[in-house]
Amino acid sequence: MNTQVHCIEQTVFHCAPSLNNKATLEAVIAEVASRRREFNERSHVPKDMIDKMKAAGIFRASTPKCFGGDALAPAEFLRIIERISEADGSAGWVAAFGSANIYLASLPPETQALIYASGPDQVYAGGLYPLQPARAIEGGWEINGHWRFASGCKGADWIGVGIGGTPANGGGAGAGKPLTAVFPAGEVEIVENWNVVGMQGTGSHDLRLQGKTVEHAWTFTRGSAATIDEPLYRYPSVSYQAQVHAAVNLGLARAALDLVSAMSGSTKTVTGAPRLGDRAYYRIELGKAEAMLRSARAFFYEAPEAVWHSILAGEPVSEQQANLLRLSATHAAHTCAEVVTMAYRLAGTAAIFDDNRLQWIMRDAMVVTQHAFLGEATYDSAGALFAGIAPTTPYP
């Protein structure tokens, strides 16, 4: 039986411009660049900046069209995250959660109608791990627990937490997968403990709930089929989340190369040595780094565009296509981190000072490669599929 439905009747909202309004988006990016130190110092992107991102349409990018959203093609949204990340990695990471409403598309349409009742510009954040046990009650679950890495939670309208184990997932197709319970953000306690040296502005604090109940209608299994029949919700959701985080490193690598390129003819060394641009090693490494970035970027966008073409043609996304989505994301994240490292080294001692942005970019880029969706295990799983054998972990 087809469990997807066309959206139930719903008012279409027009309270913010679409991302087609490039002038609004560019104004947001300019402000992000001017405030990135503030974001780091506050350990989160403040609410007024989130509101400006909403006004630019970023957080309606994955809201169903039937609820007034844009439901953008993934590659289009990824390019937006890449651009924001050129200005600031943390802001790019937080803006990436403009894609997170694809998860909410697995909720019953009636629940989604309540979420979007005040408009399509809803910010969803989640702290899924470690999964916490839930006690079954009539019509739902009682939840107690503590979760980590809830990026963007201080600017969120809705927050999801992960519950698992036999009591929560009930076996079957959902066995072993996180069941996510969704709450209005004000009902979830934020434990402010994001004390890190990279991606400081993401506000990836802990979450806590005590004796909280949730109805079944407000829970979904991450990666499960959407209940909304629109093209975006046939795109692999876990792959998409890997991609939005990897796109941050594309932006950071671009920014790093632009910074070190600008140093080629103007920077004088303490020792009186030749300008950077007069040194063969500098020119060689800069050329290599540019080729690495552009090659990784081409693969990165080639994969989602091919999948989107298949979806629009009414074809199912194949395992091979989903594999390339994951592989291209991991490759981009790690290659771009290497590019950032090359730029940092080329800059010499100038890069070690805290007021040099290369210092920040270096730290942020390393954090991206640590994300669970972008780890080295992706290469193992991708290679297994290429070899025609089953991956050792759930994939892609």
The pLDDT of residue 176: 56
For residues 148 and 249, state if they share a domain. no
Q: What angle, 0 to 180 degrees and rounded to 10, lies between the N-to-C axes of helices 357-369 and 319-347? A: 150
Task: Please state the rounded mean pLDDT for residues 154-158.
Answer: 98
For residues 210 and 321, state if they share a domain. no
The pLDDT of residue 12: 38
pLDDT tens digits for range 83-112: 999 999 999 999 999 999 999 999 999 999
Q: Up-side HSE of residue 158: CA atoms within 13 Å toward CB?
A: 26
For residues 247 and 383, state if they share a domain. yes
Q: Phi and psi of 159, rounded to 5°?
A: -130, 135
% of the chain at pLDDT higher than 90: 83
Range of the domain at 46: 22-115
Q: Up-side HSE of residue 247: CA atoms within 13 Å toward CB?
A: 30
% of the chain at pLDDT higher than 70: 90
Task: Please state the rounded mean pLDDT for residues 323-333.
Answer: 98
- Cα dihedral 191→129→210→136 (10° resolution): 170
Q: Could you give the angle at the alpha carbon of 77 between the alpha carbons of 179 and 113, nearest 5°?
A: 50
* Whole-angstrom distance, CA of residue 104 vs CA of residue 90: 23
Report the candidate in 183, 182, 177 with the shortest Cα–Cα distance to residue 223: 177
User: Is 9 a member of any domain?
Assistant: no
* Whole-angstrom distance, CA of residue 104 vs CA of residue 226: 8
Q: Could you give the angle at the alpha carbon of 253 between the alpha carbons of 248 and 254, nearest 5°?
A: 100
User: Is 8 a member of any domain?
Assistant: no
* Whole-angstrom distance, CA of residue 373 vs CA of residue 56: 28
Give me the residues paired with residue 214 across strands: 141
pLDDT tens digits for range 347-379: 999 999 988 999 999 999 999 999 999 999 999
Q: Could you give the angle at the alpha carbon of 353 between the alpha carbons of 351 and 354, nearest 5°?
A: 115
User: Judging by beta carbons within 10 Å of its beta carbon (0-12, 13-18, 19+), is residue 394 exposed, middle or buried?
Assistant: exposed
Q: How many residues does the chain have?
A: 396
* Whole-angstrom distance, CA of residue 351 vs CA of residue 205: 29
User: Is 228 a member of any domain?
Assistant: no
User: Is 42 a member of any domain?
Assistant: yes
| Domain boundary pick from 162, 186, 220 | 220
Side chain identity at residue 225, one-letter code: A
* Whole-angstrom distance, CA of residue 133 vs CA of residue 165: 6
CB 184 within 8 A of CB 198: no
Sign of CA pseudo-dihedral 30, 34, 36, 42: negative
pLDDT tens digits for range 2-55: 446 556 444 333 344 455 578 899 999 999 999 999 999 999 999 999 999 999
For residues 58 and 169, state if they share a domain. no
For residues 260 and 363, state if they share a domain. yes
pLDDT at 388 over 50: yes
* Whole-angstrom distance, CA of residue 162 vs CA of residue 148: 10
* Whole-angstrom distance, CA of residue 262 vs CA of residue 279: 15
pLDDT tens digits for range 257-287: 999 999 887 555 555 667 888 898 999 999 9
| Domain boundary pick from 174, 195, 220 | 220
For residues 269 and 244, state if they share a domain. yes
Side chain identity at residue 111, one-letter code: T
CB 102 within 8 A of CB 59: no
pLDDT tens digits for range 208-237: 999 999 999 999 998 889 999 999 999 999
Residue 323 sits in a domain of what CATH number?
A: 1.20.140.10
For residues 111 and 206, state if they share a domain. no
| Domain boundary pick from 158, 191, 220 | 220
pLDDT at 254 over 90: yes
> Per residue, what are the HEC states of the chain?
CCCCECCCCCCCCCCCCCCCCHHHHHHHHHHHHHHHHHHHHHCCCCHHHHHHHHHCCHHHCCCCHHHCCCCCCHHHHHHHHHHHHHHCHHHHHHHHHHHCHHHHCCCCHHHHHHHCCCCCCCCEEEEEEEEECEEEECCEEEEEEEEEEECCHHHCCEEEEEECCHHHHCCHHHCCCCEEEEEEHHHCEEECCCCCCCCHHHCCEEEEEEEEEEEHHHEEECCCCCCECCHHHHCCHHHHHHHHHHHHHHHHHHHHHHHHHHCCCCCCCCCCCCCHHHCHHHHHHHHHHHHHHHHHHHHHHHHHHHHHHHHHCCCCCCHHHHHHHHHHHHHHHHHHHHHHHHHHHHHHHHHHCCCCHHHHHHHHHHHHHCCHHHCCHHHHHHHHHHHCCCCCCCCC
**For tokens 């996510």, what's the residue?**
180
User: Is 330 a member of any domain?
Assistant: yes
pLDDT at 171 over 90: no
The pLDDT of residue 6: 58
- The count of domains in the chain is 3
Report the candidate in 303, 322, 305 with the shortest Cα–Cα distance to residue 72: 305
For residues 131 and 209, state if they share a domain. yes
Q: How confident is the model at residue 147 (pLDDT cuts 50, 70, 90)?
A: very high
The pLDDT of residue 7: 63
Task: Please state the rounded mean pLDDT for residues 136-142.
Answer: 96
Mean model confidence pLDDT for the chain = 91
Supply the Cα-derived Rg of the chain in whole angstroms. Answer: 21
Least confident piece of the model among 5-9, 75-79, 128-132, 385-389 = 5-9
Q: How confident is the model at residue 197 (pLDDT cuts 50, 70, 90)?
A: very high
